Structure 1
């Protein structure tokens, strides 16, 4: 890190991602992060009080990228709700598939970190379910969907599609038939929601 650059939480998180990619979660240390940044480990601890807090923050940052991308689909109220819901689940599936395929080392690392940071994962799932609920509620208001309990419906939809976004199924996302399976499932769910 150049002397003129300010040490920020964001820069620390970027460096942590690099260190995790290089060493994996078992061997990555705060000292390694500090070394990449050219600062003392005490400087890192001024932003993140513990190694666990740093790991939790980097996990939150990683999961938030997906939330942000999907928020655009959630708020695209000019499109019909069934189209938005299909696009939302397709966007989630694609985001998870890219994370698993484009950077498998980091994806595996986050699998370990996610197990350590269950609160972060629970928050992430709640944000995603909230986005699905917003689309379902819009569909109910417009008469496109029948869902007497939008929250329960959103949770059921999220659970039903877990095969296409839960990292436990990442190996199966490489199958030649996975896109057809995804379309068949989401199509079935959408038909069930139609008013």
Structure 2
């Protein structure tokens, strides 16, 4: 790091991702992060009081990227809710596949970090099902969907599509027929919502 550059939480998180990618979660230390930034480990601790806090922040940042990518689809209320729901599910699937395929080392690291931060993961899952709920509610309001309990329906859709977004299934995302399977499931879900 250039001496005149300000040390920010965001810069620390970026460096932490790189250190985690290089060393893995078991070996990465705050000292490694500080070294990558050209500062003392005390400087890192001024922003993140503990190693666990730093790891939690990196995990949250990673999860938020997924949520943020989906938020725009939720707020496009001028579009057909069915198209928004399809796009939301497709965007989630593609984002997870891209993360797993483009940077498998970091993806494996995040699987470890999310296991450490169950409460944060649960909050993330609640946010995602909340987004689905809003799209389904819009569909009920305009007559696109005929469901009586949008939150329960949203959770059922999220659970039914686990194969396409749960990191535990990442190895299956490279199978040749995975996109066809995804499209078939989405079509089935859409028919059920409109029944």
What residue in structure 2 maps to residue 156 of structure 1?
156
After superposition, give the CA deviation of every residue in 1:122-180 in whole Å (9 maximum; x if it has no partner).
Answer: 11111111110010000000000012111111111100001100000000000110001
Deviation at 1:79, TM superposition (A): 1.3
Q: Distance in 1 between matches of 2:148 and 2:44?
A: 49
1:137 and 2:137 are equivalent in the alignment: yes
What residue in structure 2 maps to residue 70 of structure 1?
70
Q: Distance in 2 between matches of 1:91 and 1:112?
A: 23
Provide structure 1 residue ranges, at least 5 long, that are not aligned to the other structure. none
What residue in structure 2 maps to residue 43 of structure 1?
43
Aligned length: 195
Alignment of 1:1-195 (within 5 A): 1-194=1-194
Deviation at 1:16, TM superposition (A): 0.1
Q: Distance in 2 between matches of 1:177 and 1:76?
A: 30
Q: Distance in 2 between matches of 1:119 and 1:31?
A: 27
Q: Distance in 1 between matches of 2:87 and 2:80?
A: 11
**Which runs of structure 1 show a deviation greater than 4 angstroms over 4 or more consecutive aligned residues?**
none
More displaced, 134-143 or 1-10? 1-10
Provide structure 2 residue ranges, at least 5 long, that are not aligned to the other structure. none
Q: CA RMSD in A?
A: 0.7
After superposition, give the CA deviation of every residue in 1:58-81 in whole Å (9 maximum; x if it has no partner).
Answer: 010011111111101111112111
More displaced, 117-126 or 162-171? 117-126
Q: Distance in 1 between matches of 2:151 and 2:52?
A: 32
Deviation at 1:98, TM superposition (A): 0.2
Normalised by the length of structure 1, the TM-score is: 0.98
Q: Distance in 2 between matches of 1:135 and 1:13?
A: 32
Q: Distance in 2 between matches of 1:126 and 1:54?
A: 23
